[in-house]
Structure formats: structure tokens, C-alpha cells
Structure 1
Amino acid sequence: MKETSPTLDCLRLRFEIQARKPIELPSYKGSTLRGALGMALKHSCCAARHRPCDSCLLRFSCLYVYFFETPRMGESPQDLRYRNAPHPFVLQILMDGPLRLEAGQLWSFDMTVIGRAIQWTPYLVMAAHRMGDIGIGKGRGTFDLRRVLSLNAHGHTWEELYSDGTLRLPKKKIALLPSSNGEPAWKHGRMRFRFLTPLRLVAQGEPVRRPDFPTLMATLLRRLENLCQFHADSNEPIGLNVPFSELLEKARSVQVVEDNTRWFDWERYSHRQGRKMRLGGLVGEVVYEGDWKTLAPLVSAGRWIHVGKGTSFGLGRYEFQNALKGE
């Protein structure tokens, strides 16, 4: 693996829609939206209809496959380390109860696009248009895409990328890696983490039911490593150039001082696998205490890329703040 500093950015998108017909979405909307967006992108760019993706000659140059069935790049020992390549996006959807939109009502959903995938943002806008025509949710409620915005790290509008039929390419991105993401160098103290969607961590093949910080940090580092390997802006695979051993040692010194998390189960139907899948994880709040000086920039990046299993559905989303000052 090359010891070169990779470039890994992300683009936070907000899609603003207006219902044409009533739309009904379940409490957890990430699975529904991911499936609908994938179907719309496939309908828009597939050149070999009715052929299974895994046997298609265009598999390694297809945008649908790149986003939704992200392949490993080859059969080298480095590639074979990964059972599945990480998808280059996450949906940032809250679990805030079922939603019904009447005709004419406005709603928005957020999506983070990672690394090289940013250059294909126009195709995601096209897919969102198509998704509006196909319909989403119970009864296939249709909608019009009104605007697509890019957001900065604080969630404020940065650029208007699409409106009134005009599409603009993004000029601003958020740097994910610690050398340049602009986060403060926090020191020792307490941090309150809020898991907004189920956090699915696995250790030794078993689901983790306690918010152990070393496991959280190790999972986040692996995720960043995988994203760099498959999606960094580089002509060759590049590893995450950070001191893993030192960071994991720091993580082991971070202690849980208050745990208000709980296990939450939810189900989704996988059309690809033809069965229901139960996807449980931790939700709620936990307060950690430790030295954050070297950990904070990486933990900050995790807010946009999520952590654990099911990130493309929006699972593993968290936020955090100073537990004493509320900052």
C-alpha cells in the first residue's frame, strides 16, 4: 500500500421535493429512498436491460453498479481483503415517525456523496427526477424535484446546484481526513454522543450491544480506510495514512461515564435477496471521557460518512458535542 496522503472529500446534498400526489413513507425512510433512488438510477443509465449486473460486460463502468452494487476492483490480495466494497454515499435520514405528504406539500432529504462519486452528482440529480416520476412509498406517490443544495459542515446552504431546470457542478467540498477538515483540536474532557439512527457494530462476529468507544473507533478507522481504498481521488488504491496503533491506544483510554443507549430493531425487505431482514442497533446517548486531541478530527468525519453496518441506508448516524458546555 502506498504511504501517500490521500484526498477524500464529501459533498452533502439536500434534495427538496414537492408532492404531486400523496406520498406515504414509513418511520424509517432510508431503506425506501435508497431502493427508489437505486431503481431510478438503473432505469436512467442501464445499457443492458434485463441482464443481471454481476454478469454484465459493462459492470465495471456502470454508474448504477458503482453506487449501489459497488464492486471490488480486482482479485489482488489487497482487493480480497474486502468482502464487499463500501458504497460511495450515505442517506442522512432521521427516524422521526411515518410521513404523509399531501399534493403540493414540500419535503427534503439529505445525502452525502463521497470521494470520486462527487463527479457523478448530475446523475444523482437525474435519478432523483426519475424517482419523482416512478413514485415512492406506499401507493407510489409522485413528486417534482424543486431544488438540490449543497450544505457546509454546519448544515447551512453552501451552493444551489439545481433549480428551475438548471444544473450547476459543485465547487465546494468538505475534507474528511484529519489534516485539513478544520475541526478544533479538543483536549481532555467529556463528549456526549447521540446515535440518531441504529448503530450496528460487530465484534468477533457478534453484534455489539454496549457503546464501547474502542470498538466504535476501530470500526470508523476501517471504514475510512475502505473508503480511501476504493473512492479516494487517486489513479491507484491508496490507504489511510494515519497512525492506527497510536489512535487505537488513545481510543482504549476513552471511558463510558454515562450510558443512555438502547437496542432498537427494525425490518426492511430486500428485493435483491427476496426476504425480510432485521437490522438492529444502538440508539440514544452516551457520554465518553478521554483525550480527544488526535481523535476528534476522525470522529468529526464520521458524522458525514456514518459508521457500522447499513450506512448507505442511513444507519450509524451520530452527532456529538461537549458534554459540559453544550458546544
Structure 2
Amino acid sequence: MGLGSFKFILLGRAANYTKSVIDSMASVPYFEIGAERKKFELVDILQADRLELIWHSGGVYMESTVSNMLATQEQKGVSRCSVHLLTPLRIRRAGKELREVDFPTLIRSITRRVAALTDRYGGHVQADAAAHVCELSNSVHTTSLGLYWSEMSRYSNRRHMKMDLSGLLGAMTFEGEMYHFAPWLYAARCLHIGRNVTFGCGQVDVVFG
């Protein structure tokens, strides 16, 4: 048996089915994951932030489950921000993958991602607010840029072929009034951005200072 941990995020209306998702996962003796179909057995389910038990050995502790509102955290008075690309970022423009990105590109990608998810799974994004934050992003300056192109692929059992998941990795630092952008950047940490996010691409971390 293999050992590993996996993170599930229930978006929008799906949060209403938390108990059903837990019961479904717990009812399966083991999972087969990956091209080699390695076996995994469910040991426990934890609340990601506080690491409190939600399920263990048949016991369900629903009081540990929480719902979070994304895009709500503020960072008043902060003028610097670093964005770290943890998994390949894939953003396409005019049919070509971008080999470098700036702050406006990141913010546009984030607002589109949030809008697409709320449209599909429930919630609401003010179009005017999204357009306004995209316009404001043009005033933010890039102070350091350390990106590189990473070649990466995965095997698709459905297509019986390799999929190209190459993209940008590295870190960027920006200066400007971050108050307007902090909620969107925090949301991106949870939702990922760019293309192929369902395969783990576009994971970012954000540090303010």
C-alpha cells in the first residue's frame, strides 16, 4: 500500500454535500491512483487549516468542517508582495503559452478563474469590481522577476498518451498599493490559476511584506 495525502476543496453549492462526499470516500475499501494504479487506503480526513479530525475509523466529526469565504482577507498599508509559482503556470495568449508574465496578467487570470468558478458552482462576483481591480493592476511595478520554463508531462489513461503540462516556475516581487489585490491573491492560493488547474497546475503562494 502507498502513503500519501490529498486535498479536496468543495466549491459553492458542493459544500452542502460534505457529509455525502465523506461517506462515499469512506465506503471504498481502497483507491487506485496514477498510471500504475497504486493502491491507497483512506486513513483519516483532516480539516486542512487546523488539522482537526473530520473522519477516522468510521467516526465522522462534522463540527470540524468549516466554510471559508474567499477573497475577503485585507492587507492595509502593505506595499510589497511576492508571488511564488509552486507548480507550472500555463497562461495562453493568441494561441501561445506565455514565457513571462506581469502583475496585470496575474490579476486578469485570477479574476477570470474566480468568475468562472462562481458561475459554475454558485456565488457572485461583481463584474465592476473585477474590472476595476484589473485596471488598478497596471499601476503595480515589478521589482524582481525570477521565472523559468519547466518541461513537465503526465500520462493520460483516458487518451493513452502523454499530456504536455510545461509552464512557468519561480517567483516574482511587486510593489504598489496591495490593499485592492490581497483578497484576489489569497483566493488564488486556494483555487490555482491558468490552464490545467485540475491536474495541479497554477498553484501559487503569496507573501506580503
Structure 2: distance between partners of 1:132 and 1:215: 44
Structure 1 residue 239, shift from structure 2 partner = 4.6
Check 1:240–1:150 CA distance in 2 against 1; reply closer, same or farther (3 A cut).
farther
- Partners of 2:104 and 2:96 in 1: CA distance: 16
Report what 1:173 is aligned to: 67
Counterpart in the other structure of 2:55: 162
| SS at structure 1 position matched to 2:37 | coil
Q: Give unpaired runs (5+ residues) of structure 2.
A: none
Deviations 1:132-171 (A, max 9, x none): 624334653323211101223xxx32x4211110224464
1:297 is matched with 183
In 2: Cα distance, 1:221 partner to 1:197 partner? 19
In angstroms, what is the RMSD of aligned CA positions? 2.4
What number of residue pairs does the alignment pair up?
208
- State the partner residue of 1:250: 136
Work out whether 1:215 is the aligned partner of 2:105.
yes
Name the aligned partner's letter for residue 125 of structure 1: I
Deviation (angstroms), 1:231 = 0.8
Distance 1:111 1:190, change over 3 A: same
Which secondary structure state, in structure 1, belongs to the residue aligned with residue 43 of structure 2? strand
Q: Is the 8 A contact 2:54 2:65 kept in 1?
A: no
Deviations 1:275-325 (A, max 9, x none): 321111111111111211111111111100111111122211111113xx5
CA distance in 1, matches of 2:180, 2:154: 37
Which whole-Å deviations, capped at 9, do the CAs of 1:189-215 have from their partners, x for residues lacking one?
221111111111122322111121111
- For the residue of structure 1 that corresponds to 2:7, the secondary structure is strand
Unaligned 5+ residue runs, structure 1? 1-20, 24-105
Q: How does 1:126-165 map to 2 (within 5 A)?
A: 126=23, 128-129=25-26, 133-137=30-34, 139-152=36-49, 156-157=50-51, 159-165=52-58
* CA distance, structure 2, for counterparts of residue 225 and residue 195 of structure 1: 21
Distance (whole Å) between structure 2 residues aligned to residue 189 and residue 215 of structure 1: 19
Between the aligned partners of 1:214 and 1:203, the Cα distance in structure 2 is 14
Using the size of structure 2 for normalisation, the TM-score is 0.86
Does the aligned pair in 1 maintain the 2:47–2:65 contact within 8 Å?
A: no
* Paired amino acid for 2:186: S
CA–CA separation in structure 2 for the residues paired with 1:131 and 1:253: 52
Question: Does the CA contact (< 8 Å) of 1:250 and 1:291 recur in 2?
Answer: no
Percent identical: 27
Residue pair 1:116, 1:232 contacting (<8 A) in 2 also = yes
**SS at 2:179 equivalent:** coil
Inter-CA distance 252–132: structure 2 relative to 1 (3 Å threshold) = farther
1:266–1:163: structure 2 CA closer, same or farther, 3 Å change rule? same
Question: Bigger CA drift: 166-175 or 290-299?
Answer: 166-175
The counterpart of 2:75, out of the listed 185, 190, 199, is 185
